[in-house]
Every structure is written in C-alpha cells, then in structure tokens.
Structure 1
Amino acid sequence: MSARDLAEPFPHITTDDRAVDAVRLLAEHDLPALLVLDADGIPYAVVPGSQVVRQLVPEYVMEDPLLAPVIDERHAEALVEDLTGKTVSQWLPARAFKPPYVGPDAGTLEIAAAMARSHVPLVAVVERDGPASRLLGVVSAAGLMRHLLAAGGQA
C-alpha cells in the first residue's frame, strides 16, 4: 500500500505561527506531538508533547526540582506568559526531532524504515510539484501497525 493511501490528516503548525497557538493545537486535538512545517510546507520538526511541556517549565525549576512544590497554581499563568509574542521557530526546543517524510508513492517498508531510523512515530507524506510542496497527511506508528496487522491477517 502506498503512503498516499496510508496517510491520515494530522493537524500542523508552521514555524511562523504563534507559539501559544502551537500549545493550543496540541491541547485541543489531544496530539502526541506537534508537526511543524516550514514556510515552504516541508516538515521542519516534530516536537513530542513532553518536550512542549518542558518548554513551559522555567529553567530554575529544571535545575532545582525542590522548587516545583513551592510554586502553586497561581503561578501557572506565568508559565504560559513566556509564549506571548513568540513564533513557533523562536520557541521550539533546541532538540526538536527532524521529521522524516516520504513521497506519496513510498511503500510500507520505506515508511517503516524512515520511522525506525528517525525514532519519530510520525512520517509525513509530502507531494512535491517543483518548488511547491503539499502535506497530504501523516502515517503514524499506530496507523502503520494497524495496516501491517490487517495485511498479515492478524487484525
């Protein structure tokens, strides 16, 4: 089966979007990770949800975990304040994963190999037409496993 057939819609953001919109997208769609596209529509980063949360925790709390119990819910507002005025590219963690992507005709094994090599559970399916690119969807690890189980008669 081709990547075009396996691809499922997946919400995404761009590097130019507001950082607060990225957090909202993750929360409202209950996503395991953020898919970030660059200005040309090419996958730029995949940011696991845990790393999005990490971006909200002040550095001084990361350095001294004993401070965490002292900070209560009244200070939660301040955690999100740091997002104000920042774009996704300004806010992204330095260790965001470069997402793998394949063309629409890629086969199942090619998708699985890209996922395994990158350690990222999402493979974007991108159709290119000269300089223009269009995201067709994403093949998730779960979607790939469902397909493989069904193909092997184990569904």
Structure 2
Amino acid sequence: MHAVEMAEEYPVVELDSDALTAARLLAERRLPGLVVTDRTGCPQSVLPASQVVRFLVPSYVRDDPSLAGVLNESMADRVADKLGGKTVRSLLPQEATELPRVNADDTIVEVAAMMARLRCPLVAVMEGKTLIGVISASRLLELALTR
C-alpha cells in the first residue's frame, strides 16, 4: 500500500492563523495535531496538540510539576486569554524540526519509519510540492492491523 492510498483529507492551518481557533479545532475534533502550511498551502510543520498544552502550562510548573497542585482550576478559565492574539507560528517549538512529509508512492513501512524517527503523529503526503492529504498514526495502525 502506498501513502497516496492511505492519505485522508485533514484540517490544516496556516502559520499566521489564529492560535485559539487552531486549539479549538484540535479540541473539537480530538485531533493529535494539525499540519501547518504557509500562505501558498505548502506544509511547513506539524503542530501537535501536546505542544498547545505545553504552551498553556506555565514554565515554572513544567520545571517543577509539584507546583501544579498549588494552582486552582481558574487556570483553565484563562486558556482563551493565553491564546488570544497569538498565531499558530507562536505555538510552534523554537527549535527547527524536520517537517514530517512522505512522497505519494512511499510504502506503509516508509511512512511508519518517518513517524517513528520524528516521533510525530502526522505526516503530510506530497506529490511534488502539492499536499495530497495527511496520514495519522491511528490511520496507519488501522491499516497495518487489518492486513
């Protein structure tokens, strides 16, 4: 099976899209992440849902998780405030990461190897410079386990 056969339509966001809108899309559709494109539709990165969660947790709590018990639930009420006015670009990790993309004719094993190497739940399926679709880790597992 080739990547083009595994690819599905999948929501994408642009680098300059509203961060709160992207977070809501992740939450409402229970997605593991979003493919992030530039203005021309060319994939640039993946925004994992875990990265959005990381952005919401104060750095001092990430550094010392025991402090999480001190915070009250009102932090959850301020999620929209923290994301307000931000772009998707501002949520992406600072360190440059390789964009998870595969070619339309790559095999299921090649797709799995890319996901495993980059520890990414999504890969963009490309035909030249055109985004054909996206393969999620759950889609790949579904196909691998039914063989």
Q: TM-score, length-normalised on structure 2?
A: 0.81
**1:46 touches 1:96 (CA, 8 Å); kept in 2?**
no
Which structure 1 residue ranges, 4+ long, deviate > 4 Å from structure 2?
A: none
- CA–CA separation in structure 2 for the residues paired with 1:106 and 1:91: 30
Equivalent residue number for residue 82 of structure 1: 82
Larger radius of gyration: 1
Equivalent residue number for residue 141 of structure 1: 137
Deviation, 1:93, is 2.8
Deviation, 1:64, is 4.0
- Look up the equivalent residue of 2:52 and give its one-letter code: V
Mark the CA change 1:64 to 1:150 in structure 2 (over 3 Å): closer, same or farther: closer
Point out the more displaced range, 23-32 or 59-68.
59-68
Percent of aligned pairs sharing the same letter: 47
3-state secondary structure, aligned to 2:26: helix
What 5-or-longer segments of structure 1 have no aligned partner?
A: none
Equivalent residue number for residue 127 of structure 1: 127
- CA–CA separation in structure 2 for the residues paired with 1:149 and 1:73: 40
Equivalent residue number for residue 45 of structure 1: 45
